[in-house]
C-alpha cells in the first residue's frame, strides 16, 4: 500500500474521503450513563472538538465547545437556564447550539437570536448516544437488536486506545495474533484454551461485511467449534451475533464499535446483550484467567503483558499510532486484514461516487430491527460449511 492510500483509509477529519464517509452514518459518541446533567464534557470525535451535555430536560446536546461571546470553553459551564450556561458571562446555549440568554445585554435585546453555535443531532438507543455529524438529512438510526431488545440484560463497556481506528478494525480479522500474542504464558498466566493452537481459518467478504471463519475440534467426536468474527462498515465488529428473540437456547450478542477520536486515537464502545432464558439470566462459562503479578514492558513501562488489554495495546500502539502500511510485508495469514482494508476502501469509493455506502438504512420500513447473523457455535462437523455472516433486517412484517 502506498502512503496516499494509507492516508485515504485512515484520516477522518472533515473534508477527507474517510471522514466524509463516516459522516454519512450515525456514530456512537458516548454511553448514556456517562452523559449526566452534573457537568458538560469536552470531547473530540472524528477530529472535531465538541462539548457534550445533558440539559435539565434530559436531552443530550453535542455542540461547538467554545462560547461565541469571547471563546471561553463551555466545559466549565453550568447546566441551567434551559441549556448550557457559559461560566464567564453567562450566555446560555440549548442543545441545538442556539443562544437563548445573555444576562449582560439589555432587556428585550434580540442579539441572542443571531448567535448559534454548530451542533449535531443526537439520539439515544439502548444506553448508547449516537451523533450524526454529516450535513444533509440523517439516515435511519438502525434499531440494532442488542440495543432495542428488552428480553435480557445489556452490559456497556468502553476504553480509549492511542491508535488509528483502522488498526483496531484490522486486528479483529487477524486470528493468528490471538494465538501468538494472547496464547503466550507470561508470568504464569494460563493462556485462554481456545487461543492455544494456531487456527485454520478462511475469510469471506460480501458488499456489506468481511469475516474470518475458524473451525476447531469440538468437545464431542464429529463436532467442531465454528467461529465467525465479522466487520460491518463503517466501524462495527460483531464477535457473536447471538440468538433471535424466542430462541430456546439464547446466545449473548457481542458487538463493538471502534470510533475515531482523531487520526491517532480510538474509543471502543462494546455492548453485550444477554437474553433471558425462561425469564432469567443464563450463567456463562467465564474465560477465567489466573491472577498473576503484572509484567510491565516498554520504555515507559506502560503495558502489562499479562493482560489481554495490555498485550493488545503493546502490539497495536507499537505499530505507531497511525502505522505506515507502505513498510509492511503481508503474508497468507493476513488475508483477513486485507479484506478489511478492501471493504473499507470500497465503502469510501461508493460514498465518493454519491452511492449509499453499505449498512446505511434510509427507509424506516427496513428498520424494525437489525440482527447480525454471526455465529460462534459447536456444530456437527461441516454443518455450517456454507454459512456467511449477514445483516438481517426485520421489517414490521417479520424477517
Q: Is 89 in the site for ligand FES (CB under 6 A)?
A: yes
CA distance 305 to 184: 10
Residue 180 CB, nearest distance to ligand FES (Å)? 53
Q: Is 70 in the site for ligand FES (CB under 6 A)?
A: yes
Q: Which does 88 bind (CB under 5 to 8 A by kind): ligand FES, Fe ion, none?
A: ligand FES
CB-based closest residue to Fe ion: 312
In this complex, which beta carbon is closest to ligand FES, that of residue 69 or of residue 154? 69
Contact indicator for 166, 344 with CB cutoff of 8 Å: yes
In this complex, which beta carbon is closest to ligand FES, that of residue 112 or of residue 393? 112
CA distance 21 to 10: 11
Residue 145 CB, nearest distance to ligand FES (Å)? 43
Q: Is 67 in the site for ligand FES (CB under 6 A)?
A: yes
Binding mask 249-278 for ligand FES (x = CB under 6 A): ------------------------------
In this complex, which beta carbon is closest to ligand FES, that of residue 85 or of residue 341? 85
Residue 259 CB, nearest distance to Fe ion (Å)? 18
Q: Is 84 in the site for ligand FES (CB under 6 A)?
A: no
Least Cα distance to 154 among 254, 54, 34, 231 occurs for: 254
Binding mask 22-61 for ligand FES (x = CB under 6 A): ----------------------------------------
Q: Which of 46, 52, 63, 86 binds ligand FES (CB under 6 A)?
A: 86
Q: Which does 72 bind (CB under 5 to 8 A by kind): ligand FES, Fe ion, none?
A: ligand FES
Contact indicator for 193, 288 with CB cutoff of 8 Å: no
Q: Is 304 in the site for Fe ion (CB under 5 A)?
A: no
Q: Which does 157 bind (CB under 5 to 8 A by kind): Fe ion, ligand FES, none?
A: none
CA distance 378 to 370: 24
In this complex, which beta carbon is closest to ligand FES, that of residue 64 or of residue 182? 64
Stretch touching ligand FES by CB under 6 A, among 86-94, 198-206, 237-245, 252-260: 86-94
Q: Name residue 48's beta-bridge partners.
A: 45
Q: Is 88 in the site for ligand FES (CB under 6 A)?
A: yes
Cα distances (angstroms) measured from residue 64 to each of 41, 50, 71: 12, 5, 10
Q: Is 263 in the site for Fe ion (CB under 5 A)?
A: no
Q: Which does 41 bind (CB under 5 to 8 A by kind): ligand FES, Fe ion, none?
A: none
Q: Which of 312, 359, 367, 370 binds Fe ion (CB under 5 A)?
A: 312
In this complex, which beta carbon is closest to ligand FES, that of residue 115 or of residue 378? 115
In this complex, which beta carbon is closest to ligand FES, that of residue 14 or of residue 103? 103
Q: Which does 312 bind (CB under 5 to 8 A by kind): Fe ion, ligand FES, none?
A: Fe ion
CA distance 306 to 308: 7
Q: Which of 69, 184, 277, 393 binds ligand FES (CB under 6 A)?
A: 69
Q: Applying CB under 6 A, which residues contact ligand FES?
A: 67, 69-70, 72, 86, 88-91
Q: Which residues bind Fe ion (CB under 5 A)?
A: 312
Amino acid at each position: 500500500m502506498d502512503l496516499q492510500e494509507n492516508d485515504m483509509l485512515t484520516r477522518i477529519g472533515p473534508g477527507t474521503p474517510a471522514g466524509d464517509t463516516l459522516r454519512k452514518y450515525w456514530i456512537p459518541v458516548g454511553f448514556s450513563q456517562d452523559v449526566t446533567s452534573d457537568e458538560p464534557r469536552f470531547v473530540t470525535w472524528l477530529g472535531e472538538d465538541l462539548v457534550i451535555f445533558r440539559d435539565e430536560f434530559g436531552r443530550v446536546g453535542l455542540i461547538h465547545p467554545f462560547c461565541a461571546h469571547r471563546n471561553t470553553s463551555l466545559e466549565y459551564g453550568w447546566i441551567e437556564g434551559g441549556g448550557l450556561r457559559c461560566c464567564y458571562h453567562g450566555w446560555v446555549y440549548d442543545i441545538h447550539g442556539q443562544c437563548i440568554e445573555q444576562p449582560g445585554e439589555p432587556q428585550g435585546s434580540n442579539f441572542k437570536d443571531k448567535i448559534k453555535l454548530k451542533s449535531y443531532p443526537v439520539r439515544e438507543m439502548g444506553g448508547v448516544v449516537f451523533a450524526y455529524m454529516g450535513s444533509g438529512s440523517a439516515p435511519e438510526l438502525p434499531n440494532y437488536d442488542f440495543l432495542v431488545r428488552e428480553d435480557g440484560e445489556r452490559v456497556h463497556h468502553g476504553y480509549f486506545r492511542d491508535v488509528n481506528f483502522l488498526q483496531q478494525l484490522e486486528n479483529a480479522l487477524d486470528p493468528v495474533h490471538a494465538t501468538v500474542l494472547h496464547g503466550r504464558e507470561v508470568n504464569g498466566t494460563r493462556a485462554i484454551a481456545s487461543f492455544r493452537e494456531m487456527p485454520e481459518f478462511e475469510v469471506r467478504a460480501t458488499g456489506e461485511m468481511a469475516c474470518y471463519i475458524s473451525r476447531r475440534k469440538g468437545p464431542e467426536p464429529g463436532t467442531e467449534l465454528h467461529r465467525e468474527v465479522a466487520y460491518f462498515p463503517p466501524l462495527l465488529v460483531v464477535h457473536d451475533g447471538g440468538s433471535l428473540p424466542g430462541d430456546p437456547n439464547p446466545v449473548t450478542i457481542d458487538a463493538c464499535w471502534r470510533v475515531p477520536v482523531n487520526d491517532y486515537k480510538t474509543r471502543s464502545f462494546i455492548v453485550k446483550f444477554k437474553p433471558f432464558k425462561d425469564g432469567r439470566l443464563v450463567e456463562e462459562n467465564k474465560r477465567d484467567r489466573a491472577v498473576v503479578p503484572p509484567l510491565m514492558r516498554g520504555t515507559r513501562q506502560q503495558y502489562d503483558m499479562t493482560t489481554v488489554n495490555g498485550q493488545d495495546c503493546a502490539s497495536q500502539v507499537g505499530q505507531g499510532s497511525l502505522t505506515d502500511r507502505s513498510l509492511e510485508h503481508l503474508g497468507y495469514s493476513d488475508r483477513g486484514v486485507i479484506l478489511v482494508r478492501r471493504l473499507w476502501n470500497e465503502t469510501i469509493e461508493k460514498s465518493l461516487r454519491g452511492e449509499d455506502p453499505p449498512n446505511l438504512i434510509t427507509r424506516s420500513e427496513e428498520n424494525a430491527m437489525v440482527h447480525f447473523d454471526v455465529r460462534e457455535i459447536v456444530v456437527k462437523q461441516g454443518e455450517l460449511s456454507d454459512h456467511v455472516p449477514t445483516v438481517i433486517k426485520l421489517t414490521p412484517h417479520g424477517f
